[in-house]
Amino acid sequence: MAESIALRDACEIFDCSSAGLSPLGVIQKQTLDTLERNGYPVANLSSKAISSEERKATDLVINMSGYPKQRAFPRSDWDKVEDWDVEDPYGADPLVYQRIFEDIRTRIESLTARLRDTARNE
C-alpha cells in the first residue's frame, strides 16, 4: 500500500519503492481492492525482497516489518531507518484493510510535510 500511496501523493518529494524483509511474493487481493477503491494505482506493484544494494543506496528506509530496526537491519543502517508501527492486515476483512490504508496514507502525508520542511530549511 505504501508504495502506491507515495507514488501518487508524494512523487514530487521522493522516489520510492516497496520491498520487504520476508515478502510473500504476491500482493493480496484485498490490498489491491483497497487501493483501487481509494483511487490509487496498482499497476506494476510487486512483492519483492529488499536487496542489500537497494538498502545501501537509499536515504531513508521506512520499516513496517513489525520488528524494531535494531533487530531487522544492520547497525550501519540504523540512522536511516524509521520504524512505523503499522498493523499487518493479512487475512483480515476489508474494514481492517481500509483502516490500515488510512493509517499509512496519514503517515506518508506527515513524512512528506517533514521532508518539505527540511528541504526549505537547507
What values do phi and psi take at 63, rounded to 5?
-95, 110
pLDDT recorded at residue 22: 86
Place of cell 500482493: 27
Query: pTM of the entire structure?
Result: 0.91
Residues in the chain: 122
- Under the banding of pLDDT at 50, 70 and 90, the label for residue 118 is confident
Is there a contact between 3 and 11 (Cβ–Cβ < 8 Å)? no
Max CA pair span of the chain: 44
How far is it, in rounded angstroms, from Cα 39 to Cα 51? 30
Is there a contact between 97 and 30 (Cβ–Cβ < 8 Å)? yes
Give 1-56 pLDDT, tens digit per residue: 999 999 999 988 888 889 988 888 899 999 999 999 999 999 999 999 988 888 88
The better pLDDT of the pair 56, 63 is held by: 63
CATH numbers and ranges of domains, the chain: 2-120 (3.40.50.2300)
